[in-house]
């Protein structure tokens, strides 16, 4: 399933959320500041946080159980994710 989150204004923020499926995240237009936290109990990286800026030149794989969040850095940002 391909989903798109269109963010008209920079500064739009989606808080940390985790679903029971894997995601492949990319940005079709604009850029986002992304933050991920490992919420999987028993994982060697449980509680660790990773941040990066995503733009159309970079994508990221997020496994199920890892919390996902982002903030649009540009007006008209299109954030896409495959699940």
Instruction: Please indicate whether residue 61 is annotated as part of the active site.
Output: no
Instruction: Please indicate whether residue 81 is annotated as part of the active site.
Output: yes
Q: Which of 6, 61, 79, 81 is catalytic?
A: 81
Cα angle for residues 39, 31, 78 (degrees, 5° grid): 90
Q: Which of 6, 17, 61, 79 is catalytic?
A: 17
Alpha helices in 1-83, H assignment, sequence order: none
Spatial separation of the C-alpha atoms in residues 3 and 37, rounded to whole Å: 21
* Dihedral pair phi/psi, residue 82, rounded to 5°: -95, 135
What is the set of active-site residues? 17, 81
């Amino acid at each position: 399933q391909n989903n798109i989150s269109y963010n008209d204004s920079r500064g739009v923020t989606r808080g940390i959320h985790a679903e029971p499926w894997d995601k492949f995240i990319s940005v079709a237009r604009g850029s986002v500041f992304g933050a991920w936290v490992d919420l999987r109990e028993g994982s060697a990286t449980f509680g660790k946080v990773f941040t990066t800026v995503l733009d159309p030149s970079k994508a990221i794989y997020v496994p199920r159980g890892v919390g996902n969040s982002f903030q649009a850095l540009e007006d008209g940002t299109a954030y896409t994710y495959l699940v």
